Structure 1
Amino acid sequence: MTEQVLEHMTKAQQHLVNQSMSYMDGLYIDDAKLIQSYENAGELDSRGSAHYALGLLLRNHDGDVHRAEHVIRSVLALQYDAPDEIYHGTFRTRPDVTDPPRGNYNWKEFAPGTAYFLERTFEKVSAEFMDELWSDESILNKSAERKHVKRLFQSAIDQVLPPVWKSYDPNWREFIACAFAVILSEFSHRLPQQLIEQMEYAMKLAVAASMDRRESDVIPMNTNIELMHIFITHFYGHRFNDADWIAHSDQQAERMLNEFMVYESFAEFNSTTYYGVDLTVLRMWRRYGSAARFVEIGRIVEAGLWNNIALFYNANLENLSGPFARAYDMEMTAHSSVGMFIYLLLGEEYMHLADVNCEVEHGPLIALVGVDAPIEVIPFLKEHQGNRLVQKQFIELCERNEPASNRNLCTAKAWIGEKRMIGAMSGSRNTNGQMFPATIHWQSDQGHRYDLRLTRREVGESWNTHLRGITFEADLTEDSLMIEVSLETADEIDIYFEIRGSFIGKDNIQDHQWSLPGLLCAVTAEAPAPSVLIYPDYAEIIYRYVPGVTSNKMKFDLKLQ
């Protein structure tokens, strides 16, 4: 493998590196030797710093290598070395986080699904506790007080058992191990031997812990983490001549391929957020893989992923249609690196798709691994290939559900029109708030782009949480979107449509008709009367479920003109 030198890269590759590095240079804090988070100004970011170190070594300007050494050491200092704990080998997301509790959770002694069963058990205990308090009106007679006590109860649990995603992020093992793999492959000659040995020691901890996580299935891996896990066990297995790791990676790669080929789709389906990570890691499989079969599996799956992207892509709107199994934003340029790959593939005319967003730190890595898409995909990325109804099935992963019943067959439908896309999902039982089962994208005659998505939240909370007992079934035609919602929960829930775009006011939204720029929508709703909230760049149309007061079924029929 020939060393990648910035000056020898294509113009598009150089742009990705220079844009990313210019931005991350501005986030660098010299005292900490780490960069700040793109999304949370003032918070230091260990994962982003690992990618910054890679970019520094690639750029190789005066002082870059010296700074990269400091950054790598700062990232290494944030690793947990706690062999008996579930967070062993992962990295603090930032230096100022409080360490998770220790010594109270013998997680390796429990069967797969322990996290699910613990969570469900404490939910039931909490519910019983709340019911006892609720029955005594002198103790607790207001919903706000009930919620406050519920939080206190959960906080007490979190002080004893390390709560995943709150007190630690297990995925930082895989992300940082991937960044270090590229550094060790491409730029070992620029680093002191002692630092390389420190990195290798840290990677032995991280990969061994990643293996424990996978084999125990205590914390399930979504697709992007699964791909990274298989890569790092393969890469470091060969680097350290570890036969067990190599055998594990070979077996997992074949299993992943077989599962992908059933419906030629991922569990983490139709996600601009995670498809960018998937493409990056599959390119790493091909560039840094040490076995022909491993590289070939990467090629097959990468090609299949590009075919899925093309199927749901609208070149006029420069976006993927919903529905989304997991996503943060509706726009591809908002929380995704897919646009970077399209830019590398199609050239300068598409540079705007690679503009800075929260995935900017991946620019140097994507420039290094490059792009390779099937030739039949190119026309779909360049021009609208005619109005079409598309349908794809996938087997989802419900990461917070019982392992024996957390893989459901889902159907994703989309209408891809010239200026409008509609998405609808059925079959999902996912508790994840990042799942958006009913979506619309459109463009007004003035060229302004808009999007709509249906989601849910506990009253007063964020949509990006896990909530049980809420299911959606959606279907569509080329000019309609139909949704059924079932709610089996003791919590008050907002079911709401979020509409993003300019020039939306309360006058645009009536109970039975939404007169939106570029879209007239007749609404039939079997649901409580809605409330409307207007923000500078989006609006919410909210239908509130109150247990025991409103029906636990809602239906919506949107007719589009």
Structure 2
Amino acid sequence: MNSTSMLEQMTYEQRYLIHQAMADLDPQYDETAQLLVYSSGRHNVRESSHYLIGLLIRNAPGDVARACDIIERIIDNQYDLPDEIYHGTFKRAPQEPNPPCGSLPWKSFAPGFAYFLDTTLAQISAELSQGNKELERRFQAAVDHVLPTVWTTYDPNWREFIACDFAAVLAYFEELLPAELVRRMEASMVLAVRGSIDRRRSDAIPMNTNIELMHIFICDFYGHRLNNPAWIEHAHEEAQRFYESFVEFKSFAEFNSTTYYSVDLMALGLWRACGKSESIRAIGREVELGLWENIALFYNAEMANLSGPFTRGYEMEMTEHSMLGVIFFLVLGRGYEHLVVPNVESASDPLLALVGFQVPEHVKPYLLQHQGDRQVEKQFRELCERSKPGENTPLCTATAWIERDVMIGGMAGSLNTSGQLHPATLYWKTEAGKLYTMRLLRREPGGRWGAHYRGITYNAKAEKDQLSVQVQFDTPRELELFFEISGEQLDSAEITDSFWRLPGLNLEVEANAPSPVIVQRDGGLEIVYPYQPAAGTIGQMSFILKRVQT
């Protein structure tokens, strides 16, 4: 497709996104490195891959040449080491060192071996360090020096993200590219798809929903393009397996996640716009419909947010660390520009504008205005990517109470070790229109809440005016369990053991827990409950937060 006039032919919403994204990304381009660069001086390979789509859509003087340069540099940063677990993926930045090589014959191990390796190394670390954090750190550094440690020394998901970008480039803009560059892209995609399939079959690194959807797409797309029947067959098998898991509860493992729902919708948009197999596209249409229905179930148009709980979350605002606000703008149109907030995911906006989205008519009213107060309950099977194979898809129940100015969320049944799990959430809006949020998190003292910890589980339930939470600790680690409350003019003096007086909301608190420490921070406060492990015991805390009128 010739894109000379593509931008002019796009809708207002598509053009708005392209212009805003490129205004943000153009200044980040490093002419010397031919990649995007951040203020830290670190270049970003994946975001550069997203950026080149915007260049090809705009097709202003010099844009195609710049896009071609970026493609060359991206491929220069791909790993071509067939025996390594990171074969076919890409460096996150040219500056990062190569992962260790030759120390992990991973293809000779049984599926799921990574769990047993991870837990064994954790046990060795605990035995060696005896609680000494510096020894723990040094042991982990030694492991990372010898073994390729996923997420630390490499990111396997860059295969799928960049392969999707390249697929869009080849589907829409191939005629703008030199033939030799197209051949180099195809050779690169052979490495990426082979590496992705090897990962999937080995289950060495389980795929979360968004990666699984992209994996199916790239196997189908490149299987047809490169005439590889085995890849096509694999795509069909994986699509059917995904569909069968979806229809059990019509829900995703990455449940109610604003960050990953937006990637899911992007991937399903690629299935619809660029997919090669009609049977896979048909599955995609049904799954996309079900995803929109899930979004509508937990969405509150008055607050422009999903209610929670979240299996994987970074921020409480839908427009932060997420493309979901952008997608809502594309489907709702003029008047919803406020949902387009530049964030760490904004480099993907050109691809979102390109593939477009289809919202079922019966869902759209929920996106436009509050459809009445409601109690929501939905089951799903989560993926605990660091849990024992065969025992890593527990059944969970998400509950929510949603009214115009208050949303409460709770999750029960999760065994997720990730700090991205938000099992208990609360949103409210004051009469003056100020939005406040609360979420339950955990961390080691002085640590960060996003880390993985085994041995802490939650059971939470949301009801009208009430959030109940039970927390169980089976870990030798000292931890801090804390409610993080965000918003303006929060006063720690208004927090007691049994009553939290907050702007626009008062909560009676029944807590079976130590007395909390109140920490005032910029933009909010934390109500921190320390957990001190006792040898041979399982600790518990419980909370009932009741909304009261005063």
TM-score (norm 1): 0.95
2:378 counterpart residue number:
392
Correspondences of 1:338-353 after superposition (within 5 Å): 338-353=324-339
Kindly state the Cα deviation for residue 407 of structure 1 after the two structures are TM-superposed.
Answer: 0.6
User: For structure 1, which segment, 497-506 or 311-320, has the greater mean C-alpha deviation from structure 2 after superposition?
Assistant: 497-506
Shift of 1:44: 1.3
Q: Is the contact made by 2:246 and 2:252 (CA closer than 8 Å) also made in structure 1?
A: yes
Q: Determine the structure 2 residue equivalent to 1:56.
A: 55
How high is the sequence identity, in percent, across the aligned residues? 50
Say whether 1:292 aligns with 2:278.
yes
1:28-43 alignment, distance < 5 Å: 28-37=29-38, 41-43=40-42
Displacement after TM superposition at 1:277 (Å): 0.5
Asked whether the 8 Å contact 1:454–1:496 carries over to 2, the reply is: yes
* CA–CA distance in structure 2, aligned partners of residues 41 and 516 of structure 1: 38
SS at match of 1:293: helix
Q: Deviations over 1:8-40 (max 9, x none)?
A: 000001001111111011211222111135xx7
**1:445: how far off?**
1.0
Distance in 2 (CA, whole Å) between partners of 1:476 and 1:196 is 53
SS at match of 1:558: strand
Native 8 Å contact 2:399 2:463 kept in 1: no
- Which residue of structure 1 aligns with residue 13 of structure 2? 12
The question of 1:519 aligning with 2:520 is answered: no
Within the alignment, does 1:174 sit opposite 2:160 as a pair?
yes
1:557 to 528, 538, 544: 544
Distance in 1 (CA, whole Å) between partners of 2:174 and 2:356 is 20
Name the aligned partner's letter for residue 47 of structure 1. R
Q: Deviations over 1:113-162 (max 9, x none)?
A: 1110001111111222234xxxxxxxxxxx6xx11111111211111111
**1:43 shift after superposition:** 2.3
Contact 1:522 1:559 (8 Å CA) reproduced: yes
Does the 8 A contact of 2:508 with 2:547 survive in 1? yes
Contact 1:233 1:248 in 2 (8 A): yes
Aligned position for 2:429: 443
Q: C-alpha distance in 1, partners of 2:106/2:445?
A: 33
8 A contact 2:474–2:538 mirrored in 1: no
What is the root-mean-square deviation of aligned Cα atoms in Å? 1.3
Give the 3-state SS of the residue equivalent to 1:555 in structure 2.
Answer: strand
Aligned partners of 1:411, 1:13: CA distance in 2, in Å?
A: 37
Question: AA paired with 2:486?
Answer: R
Give the drift of 1:62.
0.9
Which digits, 9 at most, give the CA deviation of each residue in 1:468-526, with x for residues without a partner?
00000011221111111111111111111111111112223222211111111111211
User: In 2, Cα distance between the equivalents of 1:426 and 1:2?
Assistant: 51
The one-character-per-residue Cα deviations of 1:87-129 (angstroms, maximum 9, x if unpaired) are: 1110000011111111110000001111100011111112222
Amino acid at match of 1:276: S
Kindly provide the CA deviation profile for residues 42-100 of structure 1, in whole angstroms up to 9, marking residues without a partner as x: 32111100011111011101111111111111111111111111011100000111111
Q: Give deviations 1:305-338, integer Å, cap 9, x for gaps.
A: 0000000000100110100011111110111111
Letter in 2 for 1:427: G
Paired with 1:526 and 1:282, the residues of 2 have a C-alpha distance of 45
Kept in 1: contact 2:219–2:231 (CA 8 A) = yes
Q: Map of 1:82-121 to 2, 5 A cutoff?
A: 82-121=81-120
2:110 aligned with 1:124, yes or no?
Answer: no
Structure 2 partner of 1:150: 136
**1:285 and 1:403 mapped to 2: Cα distance?**
29
Q: How many aligned residue pairs are there?
A: 546
Counterpart contact for 1:279–1:302, Cα < 8 Å:
yes
Which residue number corresponds to residue 405 of structure 2? 419
Q: CA deviation at 1:362?
A: 1.1
Residue number in structure 1 paired with 2:25: 24
Distance 1:544 1:26 in 2: 45
Segment of structure 1 superposing worse, 287-296 or 267-276 = 287-296
- Assess if the C-alpha contact under 8 Å between 2:472 and 2:538 holds in 1: no
Measured against aligned partners, the alpha-carbon deviations of 1:355-409 in whole angstroms (never above 9, x if no partner) come to 2122111111011101101100111001100000011000000000011100100
Query: 1:96, 1:380 → 2: CA distance?
Result: 46
- Secondary structure of the residue aligned to 1:218 is coil
What amino acid does structure 2 have at the position aligned with 1:73? E
- The residue type paired with residue 555 of structure 1 is S
Pairing of 1:128-207 with structure 2 (within 5 A): 128-131=127-130, 146-207=132-193
Distance (whole Å) between structure 2 residues aligned to residue 519 and residue 28 of structure 1: 46
User: Could you say which residue in structure 2 is the equivalent of 1:79?
Assistant: 78
Q: Where does the alignment leave 5 or more consecutive residues of structure 2 unmatched? A: none
Write out the 4+ residue segments of structure 1 that deviate beyond 3 Å after TM superposition: 1-4
1:495 alignment partner, one of 481, 496, 512: 481
Q: What SS does the aligned partner of 1:165 have? A: coil
Structure 2 residue 248 is matched with structure 1 residue 262: yes
- Please identify, of 284-293 and 550-559, the stretch whose mean Cα deviation from structure 2 is larger: 550-559
Relative to structure 1, is the Cα distance of residues 560 and 165 closer, same or farther in structure 2, using a 3 angstrom cutoff?
Answer: same
Question: Take 2:89 and 2:325, find their aligned partners in 1: how far apart are those partners?
Answer: 29
Question: Equivalents in 2 of 1:537, 1:76: separation in Å?
Answer: 42
CA distance in 2, matches of 1:32, 1:538: 40
Residue 408 of structure 2 is aligned to residue 407 of structure 1: no
Q: Return the alpha-carbon distance in structure 1 between the equivalents of residues 297 and 382 of structure 2.
A: 19
Q: In terms of mean alpha carbon deviation, does 117-126 or 548-557 score higher? A: 548-557
Determine helix, strand or coil for the equivalent of 2:401: strand
2:275 aligned with 1:305: no
Stretch deviating more after TM superposition (223-232 or 25-34) = 25-34
Distance 1:174 1:50 in 2: 12
Please state how far the C-alpha of 1:258 moved relative to its aligned partner. Answer: 1.2
Cα distance in 1 for residues equivalent to 2:376 and 2:40:
40
The answer to whether residue 195 in structure 2 is matched with residue 209 in structure 1 is yes
After superposing the two structures, state which structure 1 stretch, 118-127 or 549-558, moved more. 549-558
| SS of the residue 1:405 aligns to | coil
C-alpha separation in 1, matches of 2:222 and 2:525: 48
8 Å CA contact 1:545–1:551 kept in 2: the answer is no
Q: CA offsets, 1:263-283, max 9 Å, x none?
A: 000000001000110001101
